[in-house]
Amino acid sequence: NHHTFVLAGDGCFMEGVSHEAASLAGHQQLGNLICVYDDNHITIDGDTALTYSDDVAGRFEAYGWHVEHLGEIADHCDALEQALLRAKAVTDRPSLLILRSHIGAPSPDLTDRHEAHGNPFGAEQITRTKAVMGIPDEPFWAPTAVVEAYRSHTAGRGAAARAQWQQRFDAAALDQAVWDATWAAAGLPGWEAALPIFEHGEKIATRVAIEKAFNASLEGVPSLVAGAADLTGNTGTKLAGQVAATPDALAGRQVYYGIREHAMGSAMVGMALHGGVLPAGGTFFVFLDYMRPPVRLAALSGAKVVFVFTHDSVGVGEDGPTHQPVEHIATLRAIPQLQVIRPADANETVAAWRAAVAHDGPTALVLSRQNLTVVTDGSAVVTGAGIVLDDP
């Protein structure tokens, strides 16, 4: 029953991922998503008039968002609070609050100047700005009354919120084992027993093996949600019998992201950092190029996500060289804090899934389109650095 608040600027809305994410959020009617647009008309190069003339309000209205122009109230806390409360009352779609602000204010030198965008104020600028504000020229100065008000209010509010949450939690009477596994994005005790074991000599694509592993884990890994960027059936991320996440059923475990790889990866990282969800998202390996920023962000933030990259081959049929991954495995392996597993067969794929669930961070699974002969029992995945077979 909580809300997600986003603070975004002009540059954020120029980036392509904002279009993907805003489109998906509008389609899903995410009424608990509120974005405050810090519309200060400034980028590093200068005024946004150099590069930007979008009708941002019209664009978001077209996506199905509720849009409100707040005007020049950036310094008026009560007015901002009322605007946020109005947005929270809109429950059938996400909200965009357009806030006209002035970067660098109230500096006599840098108000509405692009130099304030990426550079800290110098000592003289700080002194001159404090003089305009009428406050002492002292480091980290704040009025005693304000400090005391924050401390007393925050402590009391936090204690009350915690008590209310505890009451709701106790009333829910949740199974503790399920709660623990869900919140940790882990498996229930003994969940691995349900995983498939493949016979030596059997021929199966590893993208098919991961789908079997996912579906065998639906009860044992209650936090698992899976989907793909318009390639659910192609990437092994189809969950049998699961409800799709739609505006009427947002708790569905099957997520259809559409052709939005960048937004998919970003949403996965966001869900993982929230907690209680283990997102698995699939696309063709070659499209790593387009969603690399969220892969890198997952590694930087330690987000527990599972990236499923399939069609790891130059033999991808009529799609040709635009769909042939060549440099991509080296790219993944160069990212620190990203667990990269390229299983040799179906048993190693299952073991890779076990490793992903056990790992406290992001995992990238690199899987085949073609059938591969089962030649291992999967045990080598735990140690890594597998042996290349000359004649399997």
Sketch out the chain's domains with CATH numbers. Answer: 4-144 (3.40.50.970), 191-382 (3.40.50.970)
Catalytic residue (one of 20, 261, 318, 348) = 261
Q: Mind listing the pLDDT tens digit for each residue in 236-253?
A: 999 999 999 999 999 999
The Cα 109–Cα 13 span in angstroms is 27
Alpha carbon 263 to its chain's center: 8
Two structure tokens written together for 38 = 């810090």
Q: Please tell me whether residue 21 adopts helix, strand or coil conformation.
A: helix
Q: State yes or no: pLDDT of 154 exceeds 60.
A: yes
Distance of CA 131 to the CA centre of its chain: 42
- Residues facing 100 on adjacent strands: 39
Each residue's pLDDT tens digit, 91-112: 999 999 999 999 999 999 999 9
Scanning the structure block, which residue is given the tokens 């009477």? 173
Is this prediction's pTM over 0.85?
Answer: yes
261 classed as catalytic: yes
pLDDT classification of 383: cutoffs 50, 70, 90: confident
Per DSSP (E only), the strands in 139-288 are: 203-205, 224-228, 254-256, 278-284
Helix (H) and strand (E) counts for the chain? 13, 14
- Cα angle value 250/254/260 (rounded, 5°): 90
CA 190 to each of CA 163, 215, 330: distance values in angstroms, whole numbers, following the listed order: 34, 16, 35
pLDDT in tens, 177-216: 999 999 999 999 999 999 999 999 999 999 999 999 999 9
**Measured distance CA(70)–CA(74) in Å, rounded:** 9
